[in-house]
Amino acid sequence: MLDRFRTITLAVALLTTGLAGSAWAQDFPTRPVTIIVPSTAGGGTDIISRIVGAQLSTQLGQPFVIENVAGPVTGTLMAAHATPDGYTLLAGLNANMAVNPSLFKSLAYDPVKDFEPVGMMANFPFLVLVSNNLPVQSIKELIALGKAKPGEINYASAGNGTGQELSMELFKMMTDTNFTMVAYRGAQPAYPDVISGRVPVFFDNFASGLGAAKAGTVRALAVTGTERSPLLPDLPTVAESGVPGYQYYVWFGLWAPQATPQPIVEKLYAEIQKALADPGVIARIAASAGVPSHMPLADITPFVKAEIAKWSEVVKRAGVSVE
């Protein structure tokens, strides 16, 4: 009898919680929502968060306020410890949600256990760039040169553990080539050496490299994404240029602290999808060489888990470390 009473009590409690959560979601949000961006203003994470955040503000009638927190670990940890009520979100990307678990020996947050995804925002590919005096015109020729001169050809990165390094390390792993990294403090400081030929290979953000490629100061060999870009429609992908299965792009999404009510999560996801379908949002993302991401909510966590495993292997093989 007691067990039956407990079962009924639990069922009523769950039903009540579900109904309360649904009612809460109908009114949400009733005050400003904070999006923690774990980087300084002006970077890719900041830009895409402001584009989507502004549209969400319009749709939901409450400000979505960007809070820049320097340091991917610091900002992510702050979001993990926030109240799980939907009013604090995290802008996540490859770095803090998939790569950091391998780069840091002890990470103060778990990107899967500490967060609940509420929607992906966009994907941004890289360009494979080479100096004009490097005697290669294609990815196949770059691979051949790397095999002919192992370790003799330098490539630029924006620092240890950055996308510029990891995209190239993945390329090296998949093509069995050896290029030597030269690290810079950011992407832009690398360009003079890439242009001059001192460091003739650079995998860099499409938006950053597009101007140099169009100006003819460097040569673009391929795009690292899953498909060609309408901004350079004649430029092939790395995969179709002789490296089947290769892809690298920076992905961005929004996460809420774990235990955020599911009705809130689902409402945010629906609103994000609506925002990404807005013509103005599409145009602004496209202008930065990005593509809106409409990944189903249920697919996001499995995707992140797969990304964590993928980059763990790359980091291990390349010996990449930031500590």
Q: What ranges do the domains of the chain cover?
A: 32-124+249-318, 126-241
CA distance 134 to 142: 9
Q: Which residue has the higher pLDDT, 12 or 95?
A: 95
Could you tell me the fold of the domain covering 32-124+249-318? D-Maltodextrin-Binding Protein; domain 2 (3.40.190)
The pLDDT assigned to 176 comes to: 97
Q: Name 124's bridge partners.
A: 250
pTM of the model: 0.89
Q: How high is the pLDDT of residue 323?
A: 63
Average pLDDT of every residue of the chain: 92
CATH superfamily of domain region 126-241: Periplasmic binding protein-like II (3.40.190.10)
3-state helix, strand, coil in the chain (%, to 5): 45, 20, 35
State whether residue 13 is helix, strand or coil: helix
Range with the poorest average pLDDT among 7-16, 99-108, 140-149: 7-16
Instruction: Please report which confidence band the pLDDT of residue 71 belongs to, taking 50, 70 and 90 as the band edges.
Output: confident
pLDDT higher than threshold 50 for residue 83: yes
Q: pLDDT tens digit string along 116-136?
A: 999 999 999 999 999 999 999
Q: Rounded to 5 degrees, what are φ and ψ at 222? A: -170, 165
> pLDDT-derived band of residue 14, with 50, 70 and 90 as boundaries?
very low
pLDDT of residue 21: 52
State the pLDDT at residue 9: 46
Average pLDDT over residues 148-176: 96
The length of the chain in residues reads 323
pLDDT digits (tens, 9 = 90+) for 22-54: 666 789 999 999 999 999 898 899 999 999 999
From residue 171, alpha-carbon distances to 43, 138, 206, 213, 235 in Å are 25, 14, 17, 20, 18
Beta bridge partners of 255: 90, 117
Average pLDDT of span 218-230: 96
Q: Do domains 32-124+249-318 and 126-241 have the same CATH topology?
A: yes
In the structure encoding, which two tokens stand for residue 110, read together?
């778990």
Cβ proximity of 245 and 239 under 8 Å = yes
| For the chain, percent of residues with pLDDT exceeding 90 | 85
Amino acid type, 161: G
